[in-house]
Amino acid sequence: MSSSSGPENGASDHSVERGSSHHSLFVDEDAARLSTGETSNEVLELHRTSLERSTDPTCASSDMKEFLACLSFLIVSLVIGGLPINPRQRPIPYQLLEDMKIYVRNQVYNERFEGETIPDFLLLLLAIILPFFSQIFVCVLLRRAGDRHRTVCVYLVAFAITLLVIDFVKLYVGYLRPIFYVSCEPDDVYETCTDGGGGDVRKSFPSGHAGTAFCGMTLIALYLHTRVGVPSVQTMVREMYSDGNVRWTVGYSKSPSMARLVSILSLTPLMLALFIAASRVVDNKHFPADVVGGSVLGASIAVFTHSLWFP
């Protein structure tokens, strides 16, 4: 559908010649309804029905059941993720110089480890708690009570799916981390690890930090874009043509300039996600491909889950 443009105080309905240029229309949603032939009483009835549904005990009971289902899904995901399952056991990489009986390490897995920029507790704070409560705060500011329930469900399901998918891929692939030798401490013949390696050190792909960060930050970015950005001022406009034909186009309830700026600024949380993901490469905990894989998984799951509750 094409969008129409024109003066801010333009009419909600107009007639145009076929083939002529269209101008932006800024219309109120109720005015758009009235332009379709609905009476003011019908519009008020729509508002009354919406209000009754928001206070309907049956609706509240349904929301509670959905919340419990989403919470149960997350709990099951955490339990499955905590099971003591060993990842795929790849052979310890080395090259044997036969003449000198010397074992040469693959330097790709011989990086140094000097600590994490974003440890697990800080990841929990920045990538899960911060975006979740920020979104709840925006819900309160916008006075959207229903959005609070949807937000809770979105975050519960999104992180549950992210946890399950990333853990499954880590276990299936069993890819070695860049600091494999430091954590593994191979024996003299490079057959087994002497320092308990083989667990977390074999879970390089995909990056859990990157997946978690992009999941949380994509959720809050999508919500801000949807509720405060361009989609929040879009509405449907009916155009009447001189020959009697009618066409529906996308118009705006008010000037979209500020909304466009908000939509652009809503990408800001992704910068934090990008920093968290990049820190894993700097810390030698992951290869760049691990981070890219985790980021794509987290963001994709967030987009999908967001669309289930905020279509």
Per-residue confidence of the chain (311 residues) as pLDDT tens digits?
Answer: 444 444 444 443 443 333 333 333 444 444 444 444 443 444 444 444 444 444 455 667 888 999 999 999 999 999 999 898 989 988 888 888 877 778 888 899 999 998 999 999 999 999 999 999 999 999 999 988 889 999 999 999 999 999 999 999 999 999 999 999 988 888 888 888 887 655 789 999 999 999 999 999 999 999 999 999 888 888 887 877 777 788 888 777 888 888 899 999 999 999 999 999 999 999 999 999 999 999 999 999 999 999 999 98
Q: Where are the domains of the chain?
A: 56-229+266-309
Cα→Cα distances 250→7, 162, 238, Å: 15, 35, 9
Structure tokens at 228: 């405060």
Task: Count CA atoms within 13 Å of residue 46 on its CB side.
Answer: 9
Provide φ and ψ at 157, rounded to 5°: -70, -40
- Distance of alpha carbon 8 from alpha carbon 55, whole angstroms: 35
State the DSSP string of 196-226. S-SSGGG--SS-HHHHHHHHHHHHHHHHHHH
Decide if 132 contacts 155 (C-beta within 8 A). yes
Q: Enter the DSSP assignment of 232.
A: G
Whether pTM > 0.75 for this model: the answer is yes
